[in-house]
Amino acid sequence: MPKSTNNKYAAVPLTIDDMTFRGGAAWLNTLGVYVLDGKIVYLYEGLQEVPLEDPVKDTIFPKLIIADFFSLDFKEHTQKYIAYKERKTLYTSCAKCSFDSDRILLNTMHYIPTGYYHGNGEWGAAKSHEDSALAKLIEIRVGTIREVGDSPKPIEKTHSDKKLHYFGDYVLRMVSPFKLECKLAATGNVVWEMRLSAYLYTDFELIDGVLYFGTAGKGGRFYGVSLSDGREIFSYDTGGTTYWSWHKNYVQLSDRKGDILFLDPKNGVVVKRLHFRGLSASVGIIHENCIYTTARDKNHSLYALSAEIGDELEETI
């Protein structure tokens, strides 16, 4: 396991003792990280490997939904999981978690699955979501994980680059894969256009007249752009931003190195960088001046990560 050089972070492998996974630990996929009743919950999924003395085409690999419960200081750790042995697939892109004060509710098929492997050498939309996807409601409370029902009817997922984004008098849309257009909603007149470095991957957030958003793919960046005239206030080269969040009026995101950054939203300047030796981290949740997130090592194995943020970040806006 990678070692900390400053003892300000802890990294614990996410796995199940004495169990192997199909594709190895690199194929474990994060479903979410939450603060729940004084614990940090890491929710993830994977396929259990099964012995194959005589491999057969229709072998079923159990689908595991796993919850690891950590104390805030990472000194206490327990684990629970649920397994499904049926001919269904758990598509993480179709799953969604809802959260309240005492439980997490995972819907494994909140969105309609599209564009998945048919198993006959072809890719394409699933013939029917009922036939292809695991559709369960899973409840997670501290120390427990259980099925509470089947998924309700799924909805279609609309990606940011396919939406119309309305902000008062303005409406934004992608008119081509890399061209962003802003029009007056009332007249349809074009106010400004902007060429992006990569695909739009996040929604827009408007604060004090500035649009914040991320792009991903080759040339991915995080942007701050004036809504009224399209002026680029800053663009920060992250290598790809698919998710970001706010902390004390700073933007939290991760870069191509796997560091977690805090940007000043007025100018895109990095005011703090968290580096984890040998690990590439994702944007996390922040609780009591610590960040909790997941990370991968060079072999793509999955870790639970806890790190102190420090006291340098102050309210600036």
Across 18-22, 123-127, 157-161, 232-236, the highest mean pLDDT is recorded for: 232-236
In a domain, 189, yes or no: no
**Does the pLDDT value for residue 267 go beyond 60?**
yes
Which range is least confidently modeled, 116-125, 153-162, 224-233? 116-125
- Residue 308 amino acid letter: E
pLDDT tens readout for residues 76-87: 999 999 999 988
pLDDT(125) > 70: no
Q: What is the mean pLDDT of residues 250-258?
A: 96
In sequence order, the β-bridge partners of residue 99 are 104
* Distance separating alpha carbons of residues 204 and 89, to the nearest angstrom: 32
Q: What is the pLDDT of residue 317?
A: 32
* Token pair 């703090």 in the structure block, residue: 272
Span of 29-38, 130-139, 201-210, 215-224 with lowest mean pLDDT: 130-139
Looking at per-residue pLDDT, the higher value among 124 and 64 belongs to 64
pLDDT exceeds 50 at position 39: yes
Residue 219 CA to residue 270 CA, distance in Å, equals: 19
Alpha-carbon distance of 308 to 289, in angstroms, equals: 6
Q: How far apart are CA 193 and CA 220, in angstroms?
A: 18
Non-local (6+) Cβ contacts of 119 within 8 A are none
Residue 199 lies in a domain: no
Residue 253 lies inside a defined structural domain of this protein: no
- Rounded-to-integer distance, Cα 178 and Cα 5, Å: 41
In the structure, what pLDDT confidence band is assigned to residue 113 with cuts at 50, 70 and 90?
A: confident
Residue 212 in domain: no
pLDDT of residue 51: 78
pLDDT tens column, 206-237: 999 999 999 999 889 999 999 999 999 999 99
Q: Is 14's pLDDT higher than 60?
A: yes
196 domain-assigned: no
Residue 45, pLDDT > 70, answer yes
Q: Hey, is 129 helix, strand or coil?
A: helix
Q: Structural domain tally of the chain?
A: 1
Question: CB-side exposure of 286: number of CA atoms within 13 Å?
Answer: 17
| pLDDT of 170 over the 60 cut | yes
Nearest CA-CA partner of 255 in 240, 243, 271, 274: 240
H/E run at residue 34: strand 29-36
Quick check: helix, strand or coil at residue 174? strand
Rounded Cα distance, 274 and 260, in Å: 5
Confidence of residue 56 (pLDDT cuts 50, 70, 90): low
Would you say residue 30 lies in a domain? yes
For residue 290, is it within any domain?
yes
Domain that holds residue 149: 1-156+276-317
pLDDT at residue 117 above 60? Answer: no
**Do the beta carbons of residue 246 and residue 212 sit within 8 Å?**
no
Tens of pLDDT, residue by residue over 141-156, are 999 999 999 999 999 9
* Domain contains 223: no
Q: What is residue 55's predicted lDDT score, i.e. its pLDDT?
A: 61
Position 119 scores a pLDDT of 43
pTM of the model: 0.89
